[in-house]
Structure 1
């Protein structure tokens, strides 16, 4: 029974971490369908842990570092699972768990775009930017039974009023009562503390190298590349994240592979490859140039020219406004290889 509980917790952690990291969900059905093929009846729990640890690319189980980075910055308030998140943070290792239905979500820094002078003074000259960036993030969210009383009141009033933070018995408010200020720094600090707790609630599976080794085949032992292999900057990372999401959303059957010099997306064979350049992404669509329909005139014929990647169609992605045009070409290549 204990093993079953741990397996269920791992499955929940896998789905939840991916949700926080904004990884497309369209592969989950196939991932769980193939899980049964990896289970070893003589070592049930270990084989399932190994399955999750060894997932890569679009099936990955986000690591602690990736999960933490996403968790502190994610818009938690507008997620459907926001009550799930806050109740678990409050009730973790709590022998007297609360019923979240008795509470409402409170924005410590208010949602009102016309903040009072006290709040503007606390947040500083860039109060608008701070409010926009952190308003709905975990560092600025808590629970209270006195939401209407708190309303848009200044931080010190929320602390001192009847039923305010100083009278709260909630663990989520333990950090707040120690503060004399509420600004970008304190929001970030609280977010990190809650992220540390989240990593323990929604755990990554743990196995030693010795325990994991029997589940690794020769292919997995070969040198592996990942996103850190490529020379991304702020611009190209934004472009890549957007395009990567669009490509993977085409089908749960798409496999993404990190090669030494490019990133490949494939069915049985590559249908598109991406090379990271200084200020743009170079894209190779794996089809004949005569096959491409190019109404926007963004493609180039590279037949018999030496390029990293596969195919005779080359195009570039350097402006987010062009993503639909780029995807039109990529979808043509995908359709050819999906037949």
Structure 2
């Protein structure tokens, strides 16, 4: 995904166009962008188009910031999730059952952030992932937690970030109660040198309240590891760039220079023409969707002999017409709704014409 873009950036670093610090900052930013999207489950295919054209968006006089601003302005499936989205997603996301390389990457970055002594986690057979509240709790756990906490631990938090840690003694700790895990000589949380176990070494009970406190500490660290760029977007103008329709400004009183619909560049100049072009294409691809969902109702679709019932009927096939008596913003909304139904959010980009 990002490889072709980063190769070009690396060439600029090799040619001394940018400094080593700038190059490393871009690498870190790309990691943050991709990882934040993974956390909340945004589609990876949207990244291909972003990185394919990202190098062209660079302002050589403001190299790093221009990249950050361009990404920060993306919306919809191209966006960089903000802090609140990340915290909410991480709180409930099943981290234990994601791909092992992603799980280890997450915990490794958290553990080693700002550490003077790096802990080798990836590829190490000595360190494993452990559930603090175990997958098969013994009778002590059941006697120490309230029914409400026990239910939440099992059903909501078992595999989440707040309940996971790293241990070199997973087999020894097993299903033991929390105090036994904490105080086990040389193997417990109190004797662990890992940052992930620091909070665990200081508390006396592991319940939902303790888990949520630990999660907040970990979430705060996540936002530092995979940070959101601190850039001012007020002076950033992209109104005449090619962008996804989901990111486009209000089209009222605007003309188009061209659009790219399902990979085909079309010289369409008005939103009215775009509206008919999109629905003609979609109807040709899969007419059933117009009738099996509420899309047809939203568009007022009718057969040829009923077209006079519409205020401004426009043909999308030889036998079907839709209502076109909408303002530009409403047309955009209907197009976006249709693209979502067709799972084709990344298949329409537009470029506004420069204002004369």
TM-score (norm 2): 0.65
Change (3 A) 1:333 1:128: closer
* Aligned partners of 1:287 and 1:312 also within 8 Å: no
2:288 to 273, 290, 293: 293
1:119 to 108, 127, 141: 141
Partner Cα distance (2:66, 2:208) in 1: 43
Q: CA offset at residue 47 of structure 1? A: 1.0
Change (3 A) 1:55 1:287: closer
Match of 1:132 in 2: 155
* Aligned partners of 2:162 and 2:212 also within 8 Å: yes
Greater radius of gyration (CA): 2
Match of 1:82 in 2: 103
Match of 2:69 in 1: 50
Change (3 A) 1:42 1:125: same
Partner Cα distance (1:295, 1:93) in 2: 54
2:106 is the counterpart of 1:73: no
Match of 2:176 in 1: 153
Match of 2:257 in 1: none
How many pairs were matched up? 270
Change (3 A) 1:258 1:69: farther
Partner Cα distance (1:333, 1:2) in 2: 38
1:207 to 228, 231, 234: 231
* SS of match in other structure, 2:166: strand
2:237 is the counterpart of 1:192: no
Change (3 A) 1:270 1:205: farther
2:137 is the counterpart of 1:142: no
Partner Cα distance (2:146, 2:68) in 1: 47
* Aligned partners of 2:145 and 2:207 also within 8 Å: yes
* Aligned partners of 1:104 and 1:143 also within 8 Å: yes
1:97 to 118, 121, 126: 118
1:5 to 21, 24, 30: 24
Change (3 A) 1:134 1:285: farther
Segment of structure 1 superposing worse, 161-170 or 16-25: 161-170
Change (3 A) 1:296 1:61: closer
Deviations 1:303-322 (A, max 9, x none): 4568xxx9849xxxxxxxxx
Change (3 A) 1:137 1:92: same
Partner Cα distance (1:254, 1:13) in 2: 22
Q: CA offset at residue 56 of structure 1? A: 1.4
2:176 is the counterpart of 1:176: no
Change (3 A) 1:67 1:285: farther
* Aligned partners of 1:14 and 1:61 also within 8 Å: yes
Segment of structure 1 superposing worse, 291-300 or 29-38: 291-300
* SS of match in other structure, 1:142: strand
Structure 2 residue runs without a partner (length 5+): 1-19, 251-259, 267-273, 302-308, 324-336, 350-356
* Aligned partners of 1:286 and 1:312 also within 8 Å: no
1:150-299 correspondence to structure 2 within 5 Å: 150-162=173-185, 163-209=187-233, 213=235, 215-218=236-239, 255-256=245-246, 267=261, 269=274, 292-293=287-288
* Aligned partners of 1:108 and 1:142 also within 8 Å: yes
Alignment RMSD (CA, Å): 3.8
